[in-house]
Amino acid sequence: MPRIIAPRLKSGDSRDAIGHGLPPEIKDGLRAIAKSENKSLSWVLETIIIEYFGFKKPKYIERKKK
């Protein structure tokens, strides 16, 4: 089963690469969450940040149903 990646932003903006300076233990924990949820690391990070800060979710391009 392929992992679920973060959907494209409806605004057309690209996501910035982050996380290169995080401690290995944090990265390992985030990777474990991503693996258990079958999601990409960037998608897990985005979800955590949106929920933690109470941000409004951006509009995403909906995936085509199979």
pLDDT tens digit string along 4-27?
667 777 777 776 666 667 778 888
Q: Does the structure show a pLDDT above 80 at 34?
A: yes
Q: If you average pLDDT over residues 55-60, what whole number do you get?
A: 88
Q: Does the structure show a pLDDT above 90 at 1?
A: no
Q: Does the structure show a pLDDT above 70 at 66?
A: no
Give yes or no for a contact between 13 and 59, defined as CB atoms under 8 angstroms apart.
no
Domain borders along the chain are 24-53
Give the separation between CA 50 and CA 38, rounded to whole angstroms.
19
Give the separation between CA 22 and CA 66, rounded to whole angstroms.
36
pLDDT value of position 60: 82
Q: Which residue has the higher pLDDT, 10 or 52?
A: 52
